[in-house]
């Protein structure tokens, strides 16, 4: 048997190698955890964990909310709620300078309340909004950057899958975390819209005013199309906030509600139903593979005492609490350039969460900061996932350089928003505290 430090070093090297050669992050974490347990506590214990962890992790009432939220998002996409949202936002904001980009941001934020998926948001609005903005003379880099950045809003605005993953890993209340993301998500959307306004005021050619007249009657009629998303949002968040339903039950109600909306809009047939269920199943499976692999890795860290040892060592340094938070931020941003957000949480939280809570930070507020950092990582090079989604889904010629160039101002806006959330924790905590 090896001591925990030596086993940890070997696992770190092997894990880095597997990630470098392209092994799926969930598989790499699981194999790394098994190797660590094999080296430190023996083969029988390691294989015992392999036999029990996958079932004990997935056989969880709490985790059931993830496939339900994913199914709800797939059904909401099938119901074409996005086009109704975009039309309403366009009718109200389209006549402003930069209004189409603002409308895209607002519609993406609203759709995040149904999809919970940044990738879905980015892909859908790329196909729908990018041609419209370029047709009206908008700079394609600003348009692509706006869509990629706005897609990340689904990470914070409830129902957020990342918030659920954070809650499961850290054993926190899903309901409180979902509520905690509401105001920060709205703040992020408002900051993006303000940033767009400043950019087009400084350089009007980025977002000219469309020569289209929209009557007040058309504006109010456009609001009829958004009834579906409004109903879903209030069913889910109202039910959780009032305590009538748990987050898992709210996910079930939301998925069923989305199904009824699809039927009401007559946009469901046998083929689309099968494709919707298939899409939700594949997405859920990918997430669960990462979670199971991460749990095996976390068992290795726990059984060898590495988590407690590292946490105790860091706290023994008696540094300023915000230095610990700075280190956490830097680690997240660096990993975010290479790995997708769920994997980052699974890898880092078992070690960093006890340290940061021990330093005095509120665990719910910390969840908002972690998800916001994950949100930023989705648009940072070289592996900003949303950037690649926009590039691959674009119906017009677009290079990765175009998207990264366009998204850079939004990264700066996100950093400013992050500073505000750190400086004023009440933004994140006021809604969940009112629940109590």
User: What are the structure tokens assigned to 17, written together?
Assistant: 């190698």
Cα 244–chain centre separation: 26
Check residue 207 and report its DSSP letter: S
List CB contacts of 376: < 8 A, sequence separation 6 or more: 152, 333, 336, 411, 414, 415, 418
Separation of alpha carbons 396 and 403, rounded Å? 12
Separation of alpha carbons 331 and 327, rounded Å? 6
167 and 173 Cβ atoms separated by less than 8 Å: yes
237 and 182 Cβ atoms separated by less than 8 Å: yes
Contacts 24+ apart (CB under 8 A), 283-287: 283/70, 283/74, 283/117, 284/66, 284/67, 284/70, 286/26, 287/66, 287/70, 287/161, 287/165, 287/342
Helices (H), 155-242: 161-170, 174-180, 182-202, 216-222, 227-242
173 and 436 Cβ atoms separated by less than 8 Å: no
Separation of alpha carbons 123 and 61, rounded Å? 30
Check residue 381 and report its DSSP letter: S
| pLDDT value at residue 405 | 92
User: What are the structure tokens assigned to 417, written together?
Assistant: 């928003």
| pLDDT value at residue 311 | 67
Separation of alpha carbons 317 and 303, rounded Å? 24
Separation of alpha carbons 58 and 56, rounded Å? 6
pLDDT tens-digit profile, the chain (436 residues): 787 778 888 888 888 888 788 788 788 888 988 998 888 888 888 888 888 888 887 887 777 888 888 888 778 777 777 778 888 888 888 778 888 899 889 888 888 877 767 877 888 888 888 888 888 888 999 999 999 999 889 889 888 888 988 998 898 998 999 999 999 999 999 999 999 999 999 998 888 877 777 888 888 888 887 887 788 888 888 888 888 888 888 888 888 988 888 888 777 788 888 888 888 888 888 888 888 888 888 788 777 776 667 667 777 777 788 888 988 888 888 877 777 788 788 878 888 898 899 889 999 999 999 999 988 988 888 777 788 888 888 888 888 889 999 999 999 999 999 999 999 999 999 999 987 6
List CB contacts of 395: < 8 A, sequence separation 6 or more: 126, 127, 130, 131
The total of other beta-carbon atoms located within 10 Å of residue 147's CB is 32
Helices (H), 21-80: 25-40, 43-58, 65-78
| pLDDT value at residue 128 | 82
Nearest to 253 by CA among 273, 274, 278, 233: 233
pTM: 0.84
| pLDDT value at residue 198 | 94
Separation of alpha carbons 409 and 386, rounded Å? 15
| pLDDT value at residue 378 | 86
| pLDDT value at residue 400 | 84
Separation of alpha carbons 436 and 432, rounded Å? 7
| pLDDT value at residue 149 | 93
| pLDDT value at residue 436 | 61
The total of other beta-carbon atoms located within 10 Å of residue 21's CB is 8
Q: Annotate 196-223 with b (16+ C-beta within 10 A) or e (fewer).
A: bbebbeeeeebbebbeeeeeeeebeebe
Element (H, E) at 395: none
Separation of alpha carbons 150 and 101, rounded Å? 10
User: What are the structure tokens assigned to 108, written together?
Assistant: 């993406």
Q: Where are the domains of the chain?
A: 1-59, 61-435
Cα 349–chain centre separation: 16
> Tokens 């080296």 identify what position?
39
């Amino acid at each position: 048997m090896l001591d925990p430090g030596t086993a940890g070093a070997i696992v770190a090297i092997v894990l880095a190698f597997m990630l470098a050669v392209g092994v799926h992050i969930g598989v790499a974490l699981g194999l790394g955890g098994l190797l660590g347990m094999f080296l430190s506590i023996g083969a029988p214990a390691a294989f015992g964990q392999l036999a029990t962890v996958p079932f004990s992790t997935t056989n969880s009432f709490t985790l059931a909310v993830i496939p339900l939220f994913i199914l709800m998002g797939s059904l909401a996409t099938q119901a074409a709620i996005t086009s109704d949202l975009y039309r309403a936002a366009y009718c109200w904001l389209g006549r402003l300078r930069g209004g189409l980009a603002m409308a895209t941001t607002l519609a993406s934020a609203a759709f995040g309340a149904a999809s919970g998926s940044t990738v879905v948001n980015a892909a859908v609005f790329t196909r729908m909004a990018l041609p419209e903005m370029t047709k009206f003379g908008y700079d394609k880099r600003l348009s692509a950057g706006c869509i990629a950045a706005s897609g990340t809003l689904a990470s914070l605005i409830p129902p957020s899958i990342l918030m659920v993953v954070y809650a499961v890993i850290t054993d926190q209340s899903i309901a409180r975390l979902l509520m905690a993301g509401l105001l920060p998500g709205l703040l992020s959307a408002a900051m993006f819209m303000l940033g767009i306004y400043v950019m087009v005021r400084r350089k009007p050619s980025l977002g000219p005013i469309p020569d289209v007249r929209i009557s007040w009657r058309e504006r109010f009629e456009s609001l009829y199309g958004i009834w579906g998303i409004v109903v879903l949002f209030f069913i889910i968040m109202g039910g959780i906030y009032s305590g009538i339903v748990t987050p898992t039950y709210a996910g079930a109600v939301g998925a069923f509600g989305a199904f009824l909306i699809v039927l009401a809009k007559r946009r469901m047939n046998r083929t689309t139903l099968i494709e919707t269920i298939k899409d939700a199943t594949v997405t859920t499976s990918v997430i669960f593979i990462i979670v199971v692999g991460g749990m095996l890795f976390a068992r290795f860290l726990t059984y060898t005492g590495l988590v407690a040892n590292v946490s105790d060592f860091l706290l023994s340094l008696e540094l300023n609490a915000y230095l610990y938070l700075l280190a956490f931020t830097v680690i997240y941003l660096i990993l975010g350039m290479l790995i997708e957000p769920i994997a980052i949480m699974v890898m880092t939280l078992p070690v960093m969460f006890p340290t940061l809570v021990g330093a005095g930070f509120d665990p719910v507020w910390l969840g908002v900061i972690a998800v916001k950092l994950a949100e930023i990582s989705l648009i940072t090079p070289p592996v900003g996932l949303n950037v690649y989604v926009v590039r691959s889904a674009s119906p017009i010629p677009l290079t990765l350089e175009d998207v990264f160039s366009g998204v850079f101002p939004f990264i700066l806006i996100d950093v400013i928003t992050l500073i505000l959330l750190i400086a004023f924790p009440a933004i994140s905590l006021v809604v969940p505290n009112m629940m109590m």
